[in-house]
Amino acid sequence: MELVALQLNAGADWPANRERIAALLAQLPATRPLLVLLPENAVAFGGREAVQRVAEPLGEGPVQDWLAAQAQRLGIWLVAGSLPTRIDGSDKLHTSCLVYDDRGQRVAHYHKLHLFDVDVADGHGRYRESDSFSPGSELCVVDSPFGRLGLSICYDLRFPELYRALREQGAEILMVPAAFTRVTGQAHWLPLLQARAIENQCYVLAADQVGVHAGGRQTWGHSVILDPWGEVCACLPDEEGLVCAPLERERLERVRRDMPVAQHARLRAVWRDNE
């Protein structure tokens, strides 16, 4: 079994992004089963107008049809890191992670829970995802041939309670598609990913955008695969490409057996009032 993170420099135009994704998918290893993760904003990485142009209702539309067709054609499990999906009765969108099995069937979806409304000391400066998007309200863990996949998107990475909840629901591989800014990525990307791997004893598959994008936004890259001990299995620093590593079930089971932190956790202990 092989894990693959696809690192992409996406722009605002879906046809151009589709060609970039297709070219990278053509380089996939021959190993099957194969789990492939696309980064956040793989479909369109730009302003509100660019995102609105490609937004589709969940479960229908040419973008989703193409993604499903790639999963079926290549015989892979494909996790489309995020694309914009429409919300009935709202002019805002969800940022949605979609999971397709090797027959091209969508088997799960997750709407991004935490929206990136922050100020960053870079050329873009002010980020307000809530201007265009609404947060999701449900977590998702899905069965796969690789183990149980816990879904998340980018800014979610800063909220460890989300990943603890995914582990409690049996997650074994944490999926982290992202478009981390260069400034925040350089400071926090790898430490946060390693923390999520170590504290939950999970593989982490993290696919990031890379380079300069529409509007002058810069993303960090450094897509990476981590094992349940927090060790780096493979990493791609600052160019488009694939990050590949084998999934070792024995490694996962040994780490959890030797240090059973899930059984030792006592966070549900009650508070005592001061005397």
| Cβ neighbours of residue 261 closer than 8 Å, sequence gap 6 or more | 199, 201
Q: For residue 205, list its beta bridge partners.
A: 175, 225
Catalytic residue among 56, 97, 112, 240: 112
Alpha helices for the chain (secondary structure H): 14-25, 48-54, 62-74, 160-168, 182-184, 190-200, 249-258, 261-264
Catalytic residue among 40, 56, 129, 172: 40
47, 131 Cβ separation under 8 angstroms: no
Kindly state the tokens that stand for 104: 């091209």
Is 92 tagged catalytic? no
Kindly state the tokens that stand for 168: 């409690």
Neighbours of 92 (CB within 10 A): 15
Is 250 tagged catalytic? no
Catalytic residue among 154, 202, 233, 244: 154
200, 259 Cβ separation under 8 angstroms: no
Is 231 tagged catalytic? no
| Cβ neighbours of residue 144 closer than 8 Å, sequence gap 6 or more | 35, 77, 99, 101, 107
Residues recognised as catalytic: 40, 112, 154
